[in-house]
Each structure stands twice: as C-alpha cells, then as structure tokens.
Amino acid sequence: MTELVVRAPGRVNLIGEHTDYNDGFVLPAAIDRELRISYRRTDDRRVVLTRLDEDETLAFDLDAIGPSGGSWIDYPQGVARELAVEGIAMTGLRGTISSTLPISSGLSSSAALEVASAWALSAQHPPPIDPMALAKACQRAENRYVGVRSGLMDQFAVVFGRPDAALLLDCRALLHEGVRLPLERARLVICDSRAPRDLASSAYNTRRSECEDVVRTLQAAGEPVAALRDVDGPMLERHAHHLDPIGIRRARHVVRENERVRAVVEALRKGDLLGVGRLFAASHRSLRDLYEVSSPELDALVTLAEAVPGMFASRMTGAGFGGCTINLVAPEAVDRFAADVHAGYLARTGLDADIQAVSLATGAGMA
Ligand code: GLA
C-alpha cells in the first residue's frame, strides 16, 4: 500500500491566555513548525506508531480501546475513541511520528498530535466532519482521555491555521476571523526557555477550577453569569469582598486579558506595534502576578527581550509554567535579538534557549 503523510502545525498565541476555557477571546496563529505522521494503512484494525525522536513504538486496537495509560499513545488513542463517537470510519495503520515542533514547549505539540492522528486514522480525507467539530473532538480526547481540561484554542489553531493571518476566535460563539499581522515590519520570533515543565497539567486544571469557583460565587450572589466572559471589572470589584484572594486574582487576569485581545486586534489593524508592545507587556505581568503561570525563565526572556532595540512586543505564550515567549521584532533586528537574548539568558540561567523566527502556516492536512 502507498505511504501517506499527514502534517499538523504548532501554534503561537499572540494574546488571550487562559481565556478560552472562560468562554473568552484568543488570537493564535499556526506556525511552520509541525508534526508529521507517515503511514501505511492496514486492514487489521491495529494502530502501531513509532515516535522517531524517542525511538519508541506503541500500539492499540481500534476495537478495544482501554483506559488511558499516561503515555503519548493516549493522544491518538483518545482521538480514535472520539472519532468513533462521531461515527467516523477508521483504518488500522503502521506509522512513524516526526516533528520539527519542540515537544511540551507550549507550542501545541499535543494538539498537533491529536489533529494529525485524526487525519491519519480517518478512512476518508479530509475527515468527513465539520472542521470545528473535528477540533472539538480532539479537545474532548485531551479533556476526557488524557485528563487535561484544556480549552479549544490549540486544536482550533491547528485545524484552521492560515498562512496569511492570525485567527481571532470567540470561544463562546465559535466565530472566527483572520487578523493580518504587519509582518513586513515585525517578524514573529519564538524563544524556547528549555526549562523543565513539571506539574504543568495539574496546575492547569487547578487554574480552570479556580475560575469556575469564582463564577459559582458570583452566581450565588445573584449575578447572571455563565462564565468569566460575562464578568466585567466593576462587577468583579463589587463582589471582591466575598471572593477568596486567589479567585479574585485569577478573575482580574481573565477579565482584563479579554479586553486586551480586542485592543491588540485594533492596534494590529492600525499597524501600531508600540501599542501591541504595551498590551503584551501588560499581559505578561498579569500572567506572572495574577494568574501565576509564568516562571523565572520566561520572565528573564521577556526582560532581556525588552532591552533589545527593534523589539516591539514580548510575552509568554501558551499555558505557561515554562515553555516559550513570543516576540515581535523588526526584521533587521532579529539577528541581534537572538544573539543578545541567548547570551543574556545563558548567563542568568545556565540554559541554552532555542530562538527562532517563524512564519505562519496552514492548518493540518495531507503533506
Ligand atoms: C493551553 C491550552 C489552551 C489554553 C492555553 C492558555 O495551550 O491547551 O486551551 O488554555 O493553554 O491560554
């Protein structure tokens, strides 16, 4: 049988962090670092995958999907379970997974594996399902099977990525539109902190419950809210006395971060890169001090970036607890930016940051 290859890109999030599972707004963009599955179909209903970076082969049976086991095969396996629920015909396969996307760095390697798996498993190409429903099925795999209660942003960006625009998503209405970036004046540069990211998924789930607790408290006080999306600053401050100190910090972040998404979109449309920079800086501070998901390494990368001439905007991107920063840098300043930040970060932390300019990319599909 012929060899088939599916690809799924990673993503950066320009702004709107920890807002997706609060029914808010996000502005991700798919990037040209991607995961690929090369495979041949079989008729034995077995899915056998080898991860080339770890040289590890794991397998499961499409007709006997057991409980999750805590390894990377949970992602394709969880996706197979959700595709079965959607009634999508699947075939067995023998395949290898390769990736130019750093794993567990906050660039959506998990969502890329989920969406690439969905394409590879589906007997039909494209998978016979509405693309938003496909993104949601992959999110459910992560929520229910892997056990991370992530929002929809990553799977959405991996499915809908465009080579010419970032994507503004309203996570409640599930409506989205492209937002062009002034890439002739500012390149997207990623700094991977390469710091260990332990306990990220349990801390992530805790943040999500803390937000839900605030919503329940506001509902008990008579406010007609379904999610933090419905809360504004004055309402939150009116109830500050019966919210616990952690809850109020988390909610203040989410309420203001939603406002910042809209403000960044407006600044990008006007070409106001300095305005974008101020909003990125405010977002980073809020994630550090109110949402408490930054790390000393991410803070160091942002501080070092801010000292480089030609750097417009810098903040942590993704869930946090380690991972990457996203930076908008004038094209002629990229080399100096990479050299200065790399050297300064090595001196401060002893770590070898991976710094790369990236381009936008199209969503998952056949390679
Ligand atoms: C992870 C999750 C997303 C989102 C971000 C934080 O990437 O998968 O759903 O919550 O963290 O913005």
Domain check: are 210 and 92 in the same one? no
CA of 319 to the centre of ligand 1 (A): 5
Please state, rounded to an integer, the average pLDDT across all residues of the chain: 97
pLDDT value at residue 1: 74
Identify whether 236 is part of a domain.
yes
pLDDT value at residue 103: 86
pLDDT value at residue 199: 61
Cβ–ligand 1 contact at 76 (below 6 Å): no
Domain check: are 115 and 164 in the same one? yes
Identify whether 364 is part of a domain.
no
Cβ–ligand 1 contact at 20 (below 6 Å): yes
Residues 154, 164, 352, 354: which is the catalytic one?
154
Domain check: are 172 and 290 in the same one? no
Residue to probe by mutation, ligand 1, list 15, 20, 174, most atoms within 8 Å of CB: 20
171-176 average pLDDT score: 98
Question: Considering only 54-63, 101-110, 330-339, which range has the smallest mean pLDDT?
Answer: 101-110
CA of 68 to the centre of ligand 1 (A): 21
- For the question of residue 154 being annotated catalytic, the response is yes
Per residue, the 3-state secondary structure of the chain, as one string, reads CCCEEEEEEEEEECCCCCCHHHCCEECEEEEEEEEEEEEEEECCCEEEEEECCCCEEEEEECCCCCCCCCCCCHHHHHHHHHHHHCCCCECEEEEEEEECCCCCCCCCHHHHHHHHHHHHHECCCCCCCCHHHHHHHHHHHHHHHHCCCCCCHHHHHHHHCECCEEEEEECCCCEEEEECCCCCCCEEEEEECCCCCCCHHHHHHHHHHHHHHHHHHHHHCCCCCCCHHHCCHHHHHHCHHHCCHHHHHHHHHHHHHHHHHHHHHHHHHHCCHHHHHHHHHHHHHHHHHCCCCCCHHHHHHHHHHHCCCCEEEEEEECCCCCCEEEEEECHHHHHHHHHHHHHHHHHHHCCCCEEEEECECCCCEEC
Residue to probe by mutation, ligand 1, list 104, 153, 205, most atoms within 8 Å of CB: 153
pLDDT value at residue 19: 98
49-77 average pLDDT score: 96
Q: What is the CATH number of the domain that holds 261?
A: 3.30.70.890
Identify whether 366 is part of a domain.
no
Domain check: are 327 and 217 in the same one? yes
| Nearest CA owner, ligand 1 atom 11 | 319
Q: Report pLDDT digits (tens) over 5-23.
A: 999 999 999 999 999 999 9
Q: If pLDDT is split at 50, 70 and 90, which confidence band does 201 have?
A: confident
CA of 209 to the centre of ligand 1 (A): 14
Q: Which domain holds residue 160?
A: 3-181
